[in-house]
Structure 1
Amino acid sequence: MPRTYVITGAASGIGLATADLLVERGDRVIGVDLAGSDVNVDLASATGRAELVERVRELSGGAIDAVIANAGLATPTAATVAVNYFGAVATLEGLRPLLAGSPAPRAVATVSMASLFPTDDALTEALLAGNEEAAMARGAELEASAPEVANRIYATTKAALSRWIRRNAATPDWAGAGIPLNAIAPGVVVTPMTEQYTSTEEARTAILEMVPMPLGGIFEPRDAAYLLAWLTSEENGHLCGQVVFIDGGSDVVIRGDSTW
């Protein structure tokens, strides 16, 4: 039976690849992005987040089967704080009530293997406290700093979102309501967001020194789409609070057996 999916960041990259895959399989996708999608909103703003929920409710008739909170930025700016963390959390929490009528509700977020990189403690604290005003202020401070400091914004937002997933997945609102909540952590994927790292052989060599991917190297968004499709399918009934690294081995190389 066809399922109804909501995908943010659906106009390009992993989001578009996932939308195309699901439509090919006969499912319905309500795409969300800044432009060029079914719902065009800015997830950096509270207004845009509220409009997302209302428009999805209208288009879906009030019932959906899965949410893929995929939208994100990779710039060393405060806007990345707003979209990557608060936009993703608002998407998951705002659309969660619409999952209630599904026989197999599912939710997943896109984080990143960059969550393994150095983060900023003050920004992390503000994010996990849900204090957007403080988080945006700290983001602005980091943005105005040296590049190596500003670059911590992206890693911090993805690490904090991973922790939010872990903290909430087993709660009554999610697991207790029969909704598996998980995340994927991609390595370097060929998307418009990573063009500066993947457009030339020199750039690819440089990024792979930072992000080792011994299995297959840099890959296409369709590969991440297959994993997102499974995590939000009926087959995934018991994965709870997992951050699945689809990174060609970066996590293994960087962390070794430390997860044990």
Structure 2
Amino acid sequence: MIAHWTRAAMITLGLGTTGAHADESFIVVQSTTSTQNSGLLDSILPWFEAETGIDVRVVAVGTGQAIRNATNGDGDVLLVHAKAAEDQFVAGGWGVQRHDVMYNDFVLVGPTEDPAGVAGGSDIVVALTTIADVEAPFASRGDDSGTHKAELNHWAATGVDLTGASGGWYRETGSGMGATLNVAAGMGAYVLTDRATWIAFANKAGMEVLVEGDARLFNQYGVILVNPEKHPGVRAESGQTFIDWLIGPDGQAAIANYKLEGQQLFFPNAQ
């Protein structure tokens, strides 16, 4: 039986790892907001810390920013969800090796009134095309996060030119998922979100999941050790210990065990 732990994970901005003799008693994990907003890290990190004595300090930002931070050496481990960008990070020599960790899915959330009439659909491209056709309000994170990257890929598949729509029916918040969901709720807009953040989101009044189940909404998370050859101050030993735990039996069981409202938020799939 895995004990359920709760704690406020430390959100620490601007933490560098410079210095040839980095303190291995803690690591800095650059991660996406969904792992934090969903409560996953609050649940699993205390177990890892109790087992290893290694403190985990999390920087929770959009995936694009997390990758830039790691590229600058401001972190030891990268835990995000944009596989193409992660592969590019490794190919550029900034990361040692990428590992699958877990997955969930994206869902299209919108107002219960559903002015575009997309409720019950399972084709994200058809739904977005319909939203654009009627110019129903749509809230985008607009922050180069993993969710934003996924959203833009789906818009690209529609062939819709968003250039003239920006600032009109298409609104970019430049904010995290929770803040963008609040904006969407306030303006009665559609929004693409990861399911875990949606389940944990408290302000659901007047909003519901309208489109789900499209295979293209699959949402994979990966973990990478920042390359110590690029940044000698990387806490490589402790960082690798965390990665090995996360993709090993204990970490995978901890991920599977985490639930909210009786729902499993992430599904472990490390190979």
TM-score range, shorter chain: 0.3 to 0.5
Which is bigger in relative contact order (C-alpha 8 A, separation at least 6)?
2
Report the TM-score when normalising by structure 2.
Answer: 0.33
Larger Cα Rg: Structure 1 or Structure 2? Answer: 2
Report the TM-score when normalising by structure 1.
Answer: 0.34
